[in-house]
Amino acid sequence: MVIVMRENATEQQIQDVTSKLHEFGLNVHKVVGTQRTILGAIGDVSNVDHRAFKLMDGVFEVHRISEPYKLAGRIFHAEDTIIRVGDAVFGGNEVTVIAGPCSIESAEQLLTIAKAVKAAGAKVLRGGAFKPRTSPYAFQGLGVDGLKLLKEVSIECKIPTVSEVMRESQLDLVAEYVDILQVGARNMQNFPLLIEIGKTRKPVLLKRGMSARIEELLMAAEYIMAGGNYQIILCERGIRTFENYTRNTLDLSAIPVVKKLSHLPIIADPSHGTGLRNKVAPMARAAVAAGADGLLIEVHHDPEHALSDGPQSLLPQQFVSLMEQVRMIASAIGRKIE
Ligand code: PEP
Ligand code: MN
C-alpha cells in the first residue's frame, strides 16, 4: 500500500499516518519529494482497510499495490489452471462447450437435448434441478427427481454434468449426482455456501453476480479456494447496466481482464448474457475470439414450451451451426474445440 500525502501536509500529519501504519505491524518507507511525501507500507496489508487512511488528515490518496485474491491471482500461480472433468478440459488451449436446457423438465426432454448437444460437440451437459427464479410462482425445478434424471442421462450419453446448488443444505445431495457444482449469479456472494463448497473437492462453475465487479468475482473464487478447493471455472454471464434491450450486458472485456489477473479458466454464457436466442451466436463467437476458455449455451428442442428461459434457448440445429462457427474462430486464434 502506498499513501500519498497532500502537498501541504504537516510533519505531525505525516507522523500520525506513520504511527497508524506501525500499529498494523507495517514497516514504513518514507520518500520525501520536492512537492509531496509518499509513505510506502511494507508487510501484510490483507487486514488493513485502506479507507481508514483515506480519511486521515493530510492524506491525498491511497493505492493498494497487491491484489487481495492471493490464491485466485496470477502473482503466486503464474501458469493457467487446467480442470479436467471426464473428457472435458477447461483452461489451456481447448475451448470447451457446456450445453443443455435451462431446467430439467422430463426424461424425454433431457435425453433428446443431451443427445443433440453431445453429437454437436458439447463436452458437458447442463440442466437446472433447483432453479433460482425471480417469481416464487414460477417453475422452481424438479429438485432431486431432476438430479436423478441428469445422472441417468449422463450415464446413458457418457457426458459429465453441471447443475446449480442454491443452498448449503442441498450441497451433499447435488454433489452426489453431478460432476460440476454450479454457483449461480444470485449466489456468487453467498459466503456460507462458498465456504461449504470450498470443503468439497468437486469442480465448481462460479457465475459472476449480475452486479459484481471482476474483483468481487475473484474474491468469491478466493473463498472457495481458501477451503482447499482449487477447481474453479469462472463464468461471465452478463451484468446489469442501463441498457435493457438485452436481458443483461455480456461483459466481454471481463474475459481478457480475468485472464490477465487470474490463472483460473473463464467461460462465457451468452444465453443469460443476452436473453435473446438470435443474439446468442454472435456473442458466443465474440467470446471465443476474446479468449474465453469455453461457452455455456442453453438449448431446447421445443423452446416455445420450455418451463424456463425458452426465448434464449437455441434449437438443436442452431446449436450445431454455432459449434461450426466457434470451431472456426477457435482455430483462427490457435485454439481448438475437440
Ligand atoms: C443458470 O445457468 O441456469 C442460471 C440461472 O444462470 P445465472 O445464475 O447466471 O442467472
Ligand atoms: Mn436459464
> Measured between alpha carbons, how far is residue 158 from residues 71, 123, 295, 323 in Å?
33, 10, 20, 19
> Measured between alpha carbons, how far is residue 215 from residues 192, 201, 219 in Å?
19, 24, 6
Provide the grid cell at 142: 424438479
Direct distance between the N- and C-terminal alpha carbons of the chain, in angstroms, rounded to an integer? 45
Give Cα 121 to chain centroid, integer Å. Answer: 22
Rounded to the nearest whole angstrom, what is the distance from the C-alpha of residue 106 to the centroid of ligand 1? 19
Which stretches does DSSP call E strand in the chain? 2-5, 27-32, 37-42, 59-63, 83-85, 88-90, 96-100, 124-126, 161-164, 180-183, 204-207, 232-236, 266-268, 294-298
Per-residue pLDDT tens over the stretch 233-275: 999 999 999 999 999 999 999 999 999 999 999 999 999 999 9
Ligand 1 pocket, mutate which of 182, 271, 297, 313 (most atoms under 8 A from CB) = 182
- For the chain, domains (ranges, CATH) are 2-63 (3.30.70.1140), 83-332 (3.20.20.70)
Residues 6 or more apart whose Cβ sits within 8 Å of residue 278: none
Is residue 132 in contact with ligand 1, taking CB distance under 6 Å?
yes
Per-residue pLDDT tens over the stretch 128-177: 999 999 999 999 999 999 999 999 999 999 999 999 999 999 999 999 99
Task: State the ligand closest to the CA atom of 271.
Answer: 2
Question: Which letter does DSSP use for residue 242 in this model?
Answer: S
Decide: 231 and 206 in contact? Cβ < 8 Å.
no
- For ligand 1, atom 3, name the residue with the nearest CA: 102
Rounded to the nearest whole angstrom, what is the distance from the C-alpha of residue 57 to the centroid of ligand 2? 50
Nearest-angstrom CA–CA distance, 316 and 338? 18
Percent above pLDDT 70 for the chain: 100
Rounded to the nearest whole angstrom, what is the distance from the C-alpha of residue 184 to the centroid of ligand 2? 10
Confidence of residue 98 (pLDDT cuts 50, 70, 90): very high
Decide: 38 and 65 in contact? Cβ < 8 Å.
no
Confidence of residue 189 (pLDDT cuts 50, 70, 90): very high
Atom of ligand 1 nearest to the CA of 208: 9
